Chain A
Amino acid sequence: MRRRILLVSAALTACSGCSGWQSALDPQGPAAASLDRLLLGFVLVLGGIWLCVMLVLAAGLWRRAAATPGTARRRSAWAVGGACAATVLVVSGLTLASYLASRAAPLGQDEPLVIRVRGLQWWWEVVYPGADGQDLVTANEIHIPVGRPVRIELSAADVIHSFWVPNLAGKQDMIPGRDNVLTFTAWEAGTYRGQCAEFCGMQHARMAFLIVAESQESFDRWRAAQEAEAAAPAGEEEARGRQVFEQKPCGACHTIRGTEARGTTGPDLTHIASRQYLAAGVLPMTRGALAAWTADPQTIKPGNNMPLVPLTAAELQAVSAWLASLR
């Protein structure tokens, strides 16, 4: 049945091959898979009950009543009593099933990788705690190794957000003044999309992130690259771009390690060009997108906290060239 639902939806959506990258019906880890099985069980049981009730209703409309009132009452009483008893049994069974499903936290033996994710209006700050207190800070794209449990420690900076990657796990809210935790494992390498699930204001719709699951080796490579400071400008245009970035107020909000920019209210841009998307899942990362965003962030994502910083065309070109080189 679920297959059929998937087929129907796939046919209806007529979308390219991306239909599975933010879907609870395409589990890519044990947590989501157990929820998917539970979903299937619930749908089968409850759908069956619904069908039975509809059949009884149809039969009741179809038949011509012929019973003395006394018999009718007696039979009805038995039927209603039986149906109620069955309801109690089914409901108890489903309660038990969901209790067991929520208890079975598939952690495995491995030491989980801890990542701290903080929700802000309207982006995600991602921190990989370092052994020596040297935390790796990035944003909107979370890399994880395949097959190792990941423990996400969730918090919120301003309002309530909710962390949801349907392919990997159910959602968990990020609440100011509280700490929540979500643990999951990815089975296979791949890119899974997540999105804020709790309405958090004007740009709630544009608050997405990616989870990139990859082999331990490529994860280690990625982490080492991210821990490095920003690369020195490769050419003259990039060097000018860096200059403009440091002269303008950009550094008041953004950090680019290896430069004067030390702000923390906006996303860390040290390796911004290594990410697949810009502005929390809004634009695919290209130099053009970087230029468009820098030139006019309020048209692309109205209400977001990045102000319009007036730049000349040449400055804009230079800044986007430099940012695009920050891989």
Chain B
Amino acid sequence: MNTMPQPDQRDASLEDARLDIMLRQVWDTPRGLWGALATVDHKVIARRYIITAFVFLAFGGVLALLMRWQLARPEGQLLGPDVYNQAFTVHGTSMMFLFAVPVMEAMAVYLVPLMVGTRNIAFPRLNAFSYWMYLVGGILLWGAFIVDLGPDIGWFAYVPLAGPQYGIGKRVDIWAQMITFTEISALAVAVEIVVTVLKQRAPGMSLDRIPLFVWAMLVTSFIVILAMPAVMVASTSLILDRLVGTHFFNPAEGGDVLLWQHLFWFFGHPEVYIIFLPAVGMISAMLPAFVRRPVFGYIPMVLALVGTGILSFGLWVHHMFTTGLPRLGESFFTASSMAIAVPSGIQIFCWLATIWYGRPVYRVPFLFILAFFFTFIIGGMTGVMVASVPLDTQLHDSYFVVAHFHYVLVGGAVFPLLGAVYYWFPKFTGRMMSERIGRWVAGLLFVAFNFTFFPMHLLGLLGMPRRVYTYQTEMAWGGLNLFVSVSAVMLAAGFLLFFLDAIRSARHGEPAGDNPWGAATLEWATSSPPPSYNFARIPLVQSADPLWDAGDELPVTSGLRVDRRELLVTTVGGALPEARESSPRCSLWPLWSAIATTALLMGSIVTPWAVVWGSVPVAIALIGWFWPGGSKEDES
């Protein structure tokens, strides 16, 4: 696409070195505090997101260790019931809302623009705003916990326990508003990713050439957009019940306590796939680099992702099999819950076929992929068990379920994520993580994880309910619990080693080079770490594995202006160039808007009038944000 030279400055005629200098002038985030607060660079924001999420992972892990200490012996005395109930609530809430979902979205915020070959994410200011909201939500939850105001109702906050009559104090309100913060940020990121994937792909990256990780994030983002409103409705109704005396969930006044469960799980089950699909996308992204061939069955893989996304909305009732719903309806949800094993199976079989005809290279990310296979499939199998209505009546709300969802979430999402950190760390920092320590981390985590969580299956079958702060000496659970607790310490040691390696490698790791794994996707076509503008010249994509098929010289396009932030908009289907679009510069307005929104939401924990008066600063900040800037209409 060689457009005619225009009076404004284009990249076509420039030398590489000169182009770099000019693009840096336009795209670099200014140094200093102002730049740090005002930046809209997707890489800077994503890095913050990832680090913050891992900090919350570490906090949540500390709580898990405290709980395991408490349960190591019967009649444990470390935590009282009140602190224990806060601990498991904050652990679950933090892991789901502050770690798992944000970290997956953050990886996408970093990688998707690079993988599709564009210079910044769509709506970069919204991206900045989403990070601030997420940060405040996390601080709200943990700050409340530290001052003994942590929610104590479980991460799904069933009413009436969470309602005005039994959830006294402000603990539940804090939980509900934390949901609002994190949902706003998750929704914002989802919208950015959808638009980035659909409209900003490098020319030539037609739908059948999109990397599988990007497909996974596209499907995930649609799930977020469709599922999150349900929990926002739920948490808002809960706040209304608590704050202004509505009766959505009060059976005495015509409300319904099961309504909460329906709304929550209509979000809560897709939530699992919001965490899991990015992880399978990561597997599909990493696997080819370690078996030296593309993933087998691109189209079945994509269809499986889409199928999982659709089916994920049809099985929320399997969290409610013991509530006494009509039998026929339950059977339907058994069938749909089991049906989701089929798309998951397709992906696993395709990966197996990929490995079968490949030549595996046993680097650390690949070890995590193997750990994923071992553990996640166990979690999938126990998932089939809890999908059966009759079996679930024994397994539900017991430690069997605790084991099951940790196998799915840690085995299915955290192992791939840690592999992904090892895999993309060189791209993030320009340095490799330690291969030697990484093997220890992978091995330790794999063994310790299975030692920690496998016995919980048995504990559940032996009748131990979840969420108990202690158990009596006459129960037969002491030995297994002690074993689990000791293993949990080992698991924590594995994570500690991982954190130490990451911190050390960020400064002292070996320099990585652009493409240390010899991978095929576009993020490896630019330097490590990438410059602020990502690509000096937008790549031209001619196959699904551009870096493998293009030989030494990746074809590029030209014609973008270099005197302002500009990126290329392409068509949804064929990724044909459509327009040049300006991309926003740094701005403090997202931060001001986040502060104003924070004031509104925090105030509403105390008084409903905060929603009225608090909306004034929000409106002012938004007007400032959207005030028409100086840039002219974008040219087609």
Question: Which A residues are within 8 Å of any B CB, using their own CB?
Answer: 5, 8-10, 12-16, 18-20, 22-25, 32, 34-35, 38-39, 42-43, 46-47, 49-50, 53-54, 56-57, 59-61, 63-65, 67, 72-73, 76-77, 79-80, 83-84, 87-88, 91, 94-95, 97-99, 101-103, 121, 158-160, 162, 164, 166, 169-173, 175-178, 180-181, 193, 195-206, 281-282, 302-303
Give A80 Cβ to nearest chain B Cβ, in Å.
4
Docked-complex contact B462 and A9, CB < 8 angstroms: yes
Q: Provide the bound-state CA to CA distance between A180 and B468, in Å.
A: 24
Q: Kindly list the 6 A-B residue pairs having the minimum CB-CB distance in the complex, ordered from nearest.
A: A170-B393, A177-B251, A205-B468, A98-B388, A22-B463, A19-B476
Contact A14:B352 (CB < 8 A) given known A73-B296, A164-B465, A171-B397:
no
Chain A residues contacting B327 (CB-CB under 8 Å) are 102-103
Residue from A24, A84, A91 in contact with B339 in the complex, judged by beta carbons closer than 8 Å: A91
Besides the known contacts A13-B476, A84-B345, A172-B393, 19 further A-B residue pairs in the complex with CB atoms under 8 A apart: A24-B463, A34-B390, A35-B394, A38-B390, A42-B385, A65-B356, A73-B296, A97-B388, A102-B390, A170-B392, A170-B393, A171-B393, A177-B251, A178-B324, A193-B463, A198-B158, A199-B397, A204-B85, A204-B465
Digitize B319-337: 1 where CB-to-A-CB distance is under 8 Å, 0 elsewhere: 0001110010011001100
Q: Does B500 contact A (CB under 8 A)?
A: no
Q: What are 22 A-B contacts with C-beta separation under 8 Å?
A: A13-B480, A16-B474, A57-B370, A65-B359, A67-B357, A73-B296, A91-B341, A91-B342, A101-B388, A102-B330, A103-B327, A158-B165, A160-B158, A160-B257, A171-B393, A172-B393, A178-B258, A195-B463, A197-B322, A199-B466, A200-B161, A281-B472
Chain A residues contacting B335 (CB-CB under 8 Å) are 95
B residues 375-390 with Cβ under 8 Å of A?
A: 377-378, 381-382, 384-385, 388-390
Chain B residues contacting A50 (CB-CB under 8 Å) are 377-378, 381
The interface on chain B, measured as residues whose beta carbon lies within 8 A of the other chain's beta carbons, has a size of 85
Q: Provide the bound-state CA to CA distance between A141 and B374, in Å.
A: 44
Q: Provide the bound-state CA to CA distance between A61 and B356, in Å.
A: 7
Q: Provide the bound-state CA to CA distance between A303 and B390, in Å.
A: 34
Docked-complex contact B458 and A5, CB < 8 angstroms: yes
Q: Provide the bound-state CA to CA distance between A171 and B397, in Å.
A: 9
Docked-complex contact A176 and B348, CB < 8 angstroms: no
Docked-complex contact B81 and A79, CB < 8 angstroms: no
Docked-complex contact B300 and A205, CB < 8 angstroms: no
A77's nearest neighbour on chain B, judged by CB, is B297
Give B408 Cβ to nearest chain A Cβ, in Å.
14
Q: Does B358 contact A (CB under 8 A)?
A: yes
Q: Provide the bound-state CA to CA distance between A23 and B475, in Å.
A: 10
Chain A residues contacting B483 (CB-CB under 8 Å) are 12
Q: Provide the bound-state CA to CA distance between A209 and B358, in Å.
A: 58
Give A164 Cβ to nearest chain B Cβ, in Å.
7
Docked-complex contact B345 and A83, CB < 8 angstroms: yes
B338's nearest neighbour on chain A, judged by CB, is A91
Contact A202:B390 (CB < 8 A) given known A12-B479, A80-B297:
no
Give A118 Cβ to nearest chain B Cβ, in Å.
15
Digitize B475-498: 1 where CB-to-A-CB distance is under 8 Å, 0 elsewhere: 111111001000000000000000
Chain A residues contacting B356 (CB-CB under 8 Å) are 56, 59-60, 63, 65, 76, 79
Docked-complex contact A171 and B322, CB < 8 angstroms: yes
A13's nearest neighbour on chain B, judged by CB, is B479
Interface centre among A16, A25, A43, A95 (most CB of B within 10 A): A95
Q: Does B577 contact A (CB under 8 A)?
A: no
CB-based A-B contact count at 8 angstroms: 258
Docked-complex contact B349 and A83, CB < 8 angstroms: yes
Docked-complex contact B257 and A171, CB < 8 angstroms: no
Q: Provide the bound-state CA to CA distance between A23 and B384, in Å.
A: 21
Docked-complex contact A170 and B342, CB < 8 angstroms: no
Q: Provide the bound-state CA to CA distance between A42 and B394, in Å.
A: 13
Chain B residues contacting A5 (CB-CB under 8 Å) are 458, 461
Docked-complex contact A53 and B322, CB < 8 angstroms: no
Q: Provide the bound-state CA to CA distance between A240 and B472, in Å.
A: 34
Chain B residues contacting A206 (CB-CB under 8 Å) are 470
Docked-complex contact B357 and A76, CB < 8 angstroms: yes
B residues 195-252 with Cβ under 8 Å of A?
A: 251-252
Q: Provide the bound-state CA to CA distance between A267 and B472, in Å.
A: 22
Docked-complex contact A23 and B463, CB < 8 angstroms: yes
Digitize B293-304: 1 where CB-to-A-CB distance is under 8 Å, 0 elsewhere: 000110010000
Q: Does B435 contact A (CB under 8 A)?
A: no
Contact A199:B154 (CB < 8 A) given known A35-B390, A35-B391, A80-B297:
yes
Docked-complex contact B461 and A23, CB < 8 angstroms: yes
Q: Does B360 contact A (CB under 8 A)?
A: yes
Residue from A13, A24, A54, A204 in contact with B477 in the complex, judged by beta carbons closer than 8 Å: A13
Digitize B71-101: 1 where CB-to-A-CB distance is under 8 Å, 0 elsewhere: 0000000001110010000000000000000
Chain A residues contacting B373 (CB-CB under 8 Å) are 53-54, 57
Chain B residues contacting A180 (CB-CB under 8 Å) are 323-324
Contact A199:B350 (CB < 8 A) given known A19-B462, A23-B476, A65-B358:
no
Docked-complex contact A205 and B258, CB < 8 angstroms: no
Q: Does B627 contact A (CB under 8 A)?
A: no
Chain B residues contacting A8 (CB-CB under 8 Å) are 458
Chain A residues contacting B378 (CB-CB under 8 Å) are 50
Q: Does B39 contact A (CB under 8 A)?
A: no
Q: Does B353 contact A (CB under 8 A)?
A: yes
Give B210 Cβ to nearest chain A Cβ, in Å.
21
Q: Provide the bound-state CA to CA distance between A9 and B465, in Å.
A: 17
B360's nearest neighbour on chain A, judged by CB, is A61
Docked-complex contact A197 and B396, CB < 8 angstroms: yes
Q: Provide the bound-state CA to CA distance between A191 and B393, in Å.
A: 21
Docked-complex contact A46 and B388, CB < 8 angstroms: no
Q: Does B570 contact A (CB under 8 A)?
A: no
Docked-complex contact B384 and A170, CB < 8 angstroms: no
Q: Does B187 contact A (CB under 8 A)?
A: no
Give B314 Cβ to nearest chain A Cβ, in Å.
14
Chain A residues contacting B462 (CB-CB under 8 Å) are 9, 13, 19, 22-25
Q: Provide the bound-state CA to CA distance between A103 and B330, in Å.
A: 12
